[in-house]
Structure 1
């Protein structure tokens, strides 16, 4: 099963608060059948401990280890906020929600990190006009 589908990719012209972004990431993962609605609390707990801001306009919210029971399957949500998100003081454009069964989240995290460590790639992701185009540029995460 693919961790990312077109339905899990969104683009917003405006910005959002960090709280709204966490809720949207969770809602997408819930719709995908990957997590229970309680997962948003796990994401909040993680942010209170350590920010999931990664640099290059990327945040990758995910739950804490204690909340594995909220995860039903591995999946990603990708939301681009063209108006930006203030992520605990850091500027974020891409919010990539991650739910990983067992150790799968580590592999998914590394694929996302590699993708976003390439500034040219980040520019291409930022330039994508539609969710279709953005999804096509991210589909390597399913390999």
Structure 2
């Protein structure tokens, strides 16, 4: 993953959102604050979550907008919210590492592939949850190309 896609500004450690909606909004705000998407993209992320959960297993959720959210994307970007206590994503699923992604064209597929590669090992999720710095997380992803 290129260094300009994942920076310290894109990561929130030790987050304590009150629930799933707040976790989604907070992660979306990171994408907005860093210029990847317009604020309307957050509504599309919430809409996507209503259609089908973005919980992927292994304490991981990968948030993204609906198919008609492309108009709100300015650049490919990623946000990571780390919630050590976890958030209920429904049906007994607890997410502790929440990714928000936005991609121009089909670049979101590359982001998904990188996330899948890095997070396929449960030890990696543990590493993210216990990261002492944002740089620790950046380093995990910088090893993947």
Same fold (TM over 0.5): yes
Deviation of 1:96 (Å): 0.4
**What corresponds to 2:54 in structure 1?**
52
**What corresponds to 2:135 in structure 1?**
132
SS at match of 2:104: coil
In structure 2, distance between residues paired with 1:118 and 1:51: 21
**What corresponds to 1:98 in structure 2?**
101
SS at match of 2:125: helix
Deviation of 1:65 (Å): 1.1
Deviation of 1:113 (Å): 1.3
Q: Is the 8 A contact 1:15 1:82 kept in 2?
A: no
Deviation of 1:22 (Å): 0.9
Deviation of 1:118 (Å): 1.1
Alignment of 1:115 onto 2:118: yes
Aligned residues: CA RMSD: 1.6
Residue 29 to residue 15, structure 1, CA distance change in 2 (3 Å): closer
TM-score (norm 1): 0.91
List aligned pairs for 1:1-143, cutoff 5 A.
Answer: 2-12=4-14, 14-89=16-91, 90-140=93-143, 143=145
Stretches of structure 2 that go unaligned for 5 or more consecutive residues are none
The total of aligned residue pairs comes to: 142
Stretches of structure 1 that go unaligned for 5 or more consecutive residues are none
TM-score (norm 2): 0.90
Deviation of 1:13 (Å): 5.4
